[in-house]
């Protein structure tokens, strides 16, 4: 029973610092790995929370529900912005003249 409570607390608090950690790690990586981590990292961090949402929200865990809502609202703005910046970066890289 205590292990279940510990897992509930970890699952409740994981979304916000987990996403921030994934974005921070992405900025430490070079090139394509950075872009891959920026796209896949936050989604992979949230995946366990989504899979086990029913168990985490057990007994009216409204903190989990509120934090997940904040993270999902963040994703509504994060991914379109990331896609726009990525497209602009590709256009800029394609238009730069290659050095010989």
Chain segment 25-45, per-residue pLDDT in tens: 999 999 889 999 999 999 898
Whether the per-residue pLDDT at 87 is higher than 60: the answer is yes
Question: Does residue 100 lie within any of the structural domains?
Answer: no
Of the chain, the end-to-end C-alpha distance in Å amounts to 66
Under 8 Å CB-to-CB from 27, ≥6 apart: which residues?
34
Tokens linked to 51: 């899979």
Cβ atoms of 57 and 65 within 8 Å: the answer is: yes
Ranges of H-type helices in 1-100: 2-13, 15-28, 31-51, 53-56, 62-95
Tokens linked to 31: 């090139």
Q: Give the predicted TM-score (pTM) of the model.
A: 0.76
Residue from 88, 90, 47, 87 nearest 71 by CA: 47
Question: Does residue 63 lie within any of the structural domains?
Answer: yes
Domain span at residue 60 reads 2-95
Which of 2-6, 9-13, 24-28, 33-37 is least confident? 2-6
Query: How many domains does the chain contain in total?
Result: 1
Under 8 Å CB-to-CB from 83, ≥6 apart: which residues?
none
What pLDDT digit, counting tens, does each position of 52-78 carry? 887 777 777 888 888 888 888 999 999
């Amino acid at each position: 029973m205590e292990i279940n409570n510990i897992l509930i607390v970890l699952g409740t608090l994981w979304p916000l610092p987990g996403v921030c950690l994934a974005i921070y790690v992405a900025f430490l990586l070079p090139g394509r790995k950075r872009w891959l981590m920026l796209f896949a990292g936050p989604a992979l961090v949230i995946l366990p929370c989504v899979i086990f949402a029913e168990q985490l929200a057990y007994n009216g865990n409204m903190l989990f529900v509120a934090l997940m809502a904040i993270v999902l609202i963040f994703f509504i703005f994060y991914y379109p912005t990331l896609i726009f910046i990525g497209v602009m970066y590709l256009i800029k890289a394609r238009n730069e003249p290659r050095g010989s």
